[in-house]
Chains A and B, each alone.
Chain A
Amino acid sequence: MSALALTARGRAGASQWLGAALVAALVGAAMLSLVWTPYPPGAIDVPHKLLSPSPAHWLGTDDLGRDVASEILAGARVSILVGVIAVGIGVAFGVALGLVAAAAKGLVEDAIMKLCDFTFAFPALLSAIMLTATYGPGVVNAIIAIGVYNVPIFAKLTRATANGVLAREFTLAARAAGRGPLAIAFDHVLPNIAPALIVQATIQFAVAILAEAALSYLGLGAQPPEASWGRMLSDAQGWMYVAPRLAVFPGLAVALSVLGLNLLGDGLRDALDPRLKARG
């Protein structure tokens, strides 16, 4: 192995560990906020508003005297909740639809894929706004909107990779052993496409966090007093000149989480792709 390849590989390794560390920090923050935050999240303390960072308030306080560090910890919870459920909806329905499409072929496959294209054609944020406008703003509706957007992504990925697996001889051999299409889809196809799905799930998780922040920023996601990074950004807007840090901290939290998930996704792709591994 050449020195160049070695350094390139070492760097790739470092970035995936950085990604894993950032994701661990995100998960850690959310878990920590369940049992402990410096101040109760959402607790208003007007006399101490707009304080600079200090030992008492590590990241300062906002315009209502809420402790920014506590809000950020609690905001991680919402981000993860949205990510897990929205990606979960996408995986559950998308993978099922994709597998059915690949197994059924013909008219059913065409119909499912056309439906996915139809859903895809609407800008995600726009459909989320439509949904929350109709059913009212809130975290639950934001989750549903982001989840719906994930369904066609996973359906398309599942169908494409499943068709690749179904073209391989062992699925024919499984049919020759008398197995039915459903059993083949779950026993033979799913494990073989799992790596691609895991990588995509990591990336969609990052997209979901961004989407939640955007929706909350627009006032369509988390509602006060619920802590959310997007809502914090929105609140910070009016104080940009007085206390820009109010926007910086939640912005950093969003950016680092998304960066971490993307790096982790890249690392997982490299680790799970046998072709890349063989080359190394």
Chain B
Amino acid sequence: MKRSRIVSLALLALILVFGIAFPYLGASNFALSITTTILVAAILASSVNFLVGEGGMASLGHGAIAGASAYGAGWASKQGMDPGMQVLIAFGVTIVVSLVYGLLSMRTSGIYFLMVTLAVGMLIYGLAFRLSSITGGENGISNIARPQWIGNLAADGWKYYYVVLAGFVISTAVLWVVSRSPFGASLRGVRDSESRMRSLGYTVPAYRLAAFLISGIVAGFAGLLSVWQTHFVSPSSAGVDRSVLLIVMVILGGTGTLLGPLIGATIVILVENVLSSYVDRWPTILGLIFILVILFARAGIVGSIAKLLRRLRSRTAASPGGPPSPSDTSVSSTSNAA
């Protein structure tokens, strides 16, 4: 158990070192911009992963939360406000939207939760489309200003890359700390048995609401980062397809794992942005991969590899009837929740 933690920490450090060194390894501007996109998507996916993995709440509305935050920043920019105000308004919108989601969904679980978040997400998408006086309608908002210090992305994209990398590290760390806290433990309790937690005196809806707020704020942060990268927001960035892709990332990578969102986001963004220039039918390929993962590898890529390694180790090392490692059960319960 202890060794596996050391291994995963070492792996994390390795990825981080690679991430920091990446711009110096002769990465082209295109590679940098794709990697930045992947990191933003990974932040968003980790906010979904936190809800699904710890709370058993599969949300189909997080794309719209990020979209609402991006629209907040875009609207502020259109009014000529400075980036500081953009941040303030983006987070204000995020918190209000997450509260609406949370209040409506806190008494539901499982597929009901999924449906409520889906409906609220579609509502935000619809508002983005129809409230054209604020959102610019179908055309969205373009030429959104970003802070001066980011500079020109086309010339030196590495600066913003580091900003997003730092954002990814911070949000992952925050979500990890929250998951390991007593609050995270209670949340897993709610996931595994709502009735038991209720009879122990926990106010279950309050826990769900708090979890949703935390996750929503991380999603809003990702929305802000994406709007500073692309200068642009349109209804499609708040659409259901985005939210579905987020769930695809989480499940592909491995629900409830630390690295899963990054791996899932990498695969989905690469298929969407790189494979799509060779194959027209990339959504079909992505959909088929998703279906295969659900049918055959519910633990996702990270979860399946971890399971495989554990099995190999137990076969070589602990052959004289060693007890099953406790982490085995935790993985299977998260994959059930997924």
Asked whether A and B interact, the reply is: no
Residue positions of A touching B, CB distance < 8 A: none
